[in-house]
Amino acid sequence: MRITGGSARGQIIIGPKGSHVRPSASKLRQAFFNIIGNKIENVAFLDLCAGTGLMGLEALSRGAKHLTAIEHHRPTAKTLELNIEKLGFEKETEIIIADVCKYLPKLREASFDIIYTDPPYKTQIGQIVLQILGKKSILKLNGILAIEHLSNQEMPEHQDLLFKHDTRKYGQSSISFYGYNHN
């Protein structure tokens, strides 16, 4: 696994042992960052179900100012910590070892510009995250919530204050983009 763009482009990321983590494919990561373009610069990025940290580290490499990564599996979070140290992003990163669904309500309102969640595909975590953030948004007013999911899994068109603006399909995976309705 390699960082695909920015200051750490080409750097190899350490992967965890076992099959409990499924890192986002490089094609999907590149597509995501192409879609958001320069909106990544100087943002606070929240990586939910962070795994090895590949998506969040890619965000830092491409210009995000701060990364908060939440991962519940302690050994995987240790791998994430090693990757952060390897790339020299310790000052820009906060790692939280916790259950995403239980920890989200504890975060401050309007804390993040971009929230990315890549939950285990056979769970309902993506929908639960959407429900939590629809009621208590830690997303800034013009922020982006992106949820990676199986392409055959339908995500709701809206959840309380959040509205789906787009879904992009990449093979078996899709990313649904949410934000506030600015009518």
> And the tokens for 107?
């975060």
Whole-number pLDDT of residue 182: 58
Residue 123 has a CB neighbour count (10 Å cut-off) of 11
Position 149 pLDDT exceeds 70: yes
Tell me the pTM.
0.91
The pair of structure tokens assigned to 26 is: 């490089």
- For the domain spanning 41-180, the CATH number is 3.40.50.150
Residue 144, H or E segment? strand 139-150
77-102: average pLDDT: 94
Domain boundaries along the sequence of the chain:
41-180
Query: Residue 107 corresponds to which amino acid?
Result: L
